[in-house]
Amino acid sequence: MRKSVFAAGCLIVAGLTCPLYGQEEQAPPGGQNPPTTQPQPRQPNVTPTPAPNQNQPLRIRGRIIAGPRGLEAAITEVKFETDGGQPIGFAYADSAGEFTFERPGMPLDQTIYVIVNLEGFKPHRERLINDLGGRFDTFLTIFLEPETSVSRSSKGATVVDLKQLRAKIPGKAVDEYEKALKESSKGNRGKAVEGLERALKLAPDFYEAQHTLGVQYIALQKYDQAEAALLKARDLSPKSAEPLINLGTLYYQRAESQIDAGRTEEAAATFEKAVDVLEESIRRNPLSASAHGYLGAALYKIGEYDEAETALKRALGLDEDENNARLMLVNVYAKSARYSEALEQTNIFLAKNPKAPQRAAMEGIKQQLEKALGK
């Protein structure tokens, strides 16, 4: 249970801006390669002929390889099923891609498939056949091949290839989506929303349109509509972190508006909600600097200063230009009377951002901190 110390009204630095995410960030490319097996040694010239109903212990170990940086998700599901598509169980690969699946008994002549579906990569389905007549103990190396429908921008965001999108979404829906993106780039948020809603009428399961609709509603400060859209996007792509990151920023902004309206108790509960959602988004994508930054800001708002510092420093470790995280870290240090550290972060911000709109305010804060330190 978190303590409920609400830090309303104690900010030094102006509130955060809201960077909104596109599609899921993807891991770097890999290749496709057949697995290797490590069968148990057998006695020479002995070929067992088991009865059809005889069972065996099953143990499958392996590693998923998705490029030089490895998996970006903390946990990746590995599914196992029979030849007829009947599920027999799951394993979960860690961030290093390693997994182990064990089952006490399976028919010796059973064909098994291993399946990995990871967003940004082509579906992997591989047939495993046990012809050993004994214990099935196998090690797999699974190389995931990246989808060609997405690419990474210089900021790590994903650019959707509309040509590839048309292969799975009705063309008219993609046309409306494309027009909406153009309207958004011109600042016509209202027209963008109208186009996205038309796209979703044509294709209700169109994840990219649903998620973008939530982003547009946040920009319009229509928080109820944004929340509904992002929750639908989350349900359409349960493993994606971006709907949750944007949902967390939505709750943060809603809480700020509640403070402005004098509803401080309501705001405290909303900041708590932001913390919960952002923590879940980080479990899905531990490498999102923005998610760590907003988590740190929300933790600061509810008085969890040590946890806020950890999250904000993690954000800066992932992206040293995450300026909102640096500004909030100044608040954390100032609130904790750690003026030397607050001054250090202020100086870094000023050095990195000579033309920032907050520069005048930060110069004033610097003077206050130097005075507090007797400089």
Element (H, E) at 365: helix 359-372
Residue of higher predicted confidence among 120 and 333: 333
DSSP string, 305-363: HHHHHHHHHHHHHH-TT-HHHHHHHHHHHHHTT-HHHHHHHHHHHHHH-TT-TTHHHHH
Mean pLDDT: which of 12-16, 114-118, 164-168 is highest? 114-118
Which residues belong to CATH 2.60.40.10 in the chain?
Answer: 55-143
| CATH ID of 1-19+244-375, from 3.90.1720.10, 1.10.10.60, 1.25.40.10, 1.20.58.220 | 1.25.40.10
- Residue of 121, 147, 145 lying closest to 31 (CA atoms): 145
pLDDT of residue 238: 85
Question: In 3-state terms, what secondary structure has residue 115?
Answer: strand
Q: Does position 337 have pLDDT exceeding 90, yes or no? A: yes
- Report the CATH architecture of 148-238: Alpha Horseshoe (1.25)
| Vertex 30 angle, CA 26 and 35, to 5° | 130
180-231: pLDDT as tens digits: 988 887 888 899 999 999 999 999 999 889 999 998 998 888 989 999 999 9
Identity of the residue numbered 357? P
Measured CA to CA, the distance from residue 80 to residue 86 in angstroms comes to 9
Measured CA to CA, the distance from residue 198 to residue 106 in angstroms comes to 50
CATH says 55-143 is which class?
A: mainly beta
Cα 27 from chain centroid?
A: 12
Which residues belong to CATH 1.25.40.10 in the chain?
Answer: 1-19+244-375, 148-238
111-131: pLDDT as tens digits: 788 898 887 777 888 887 554
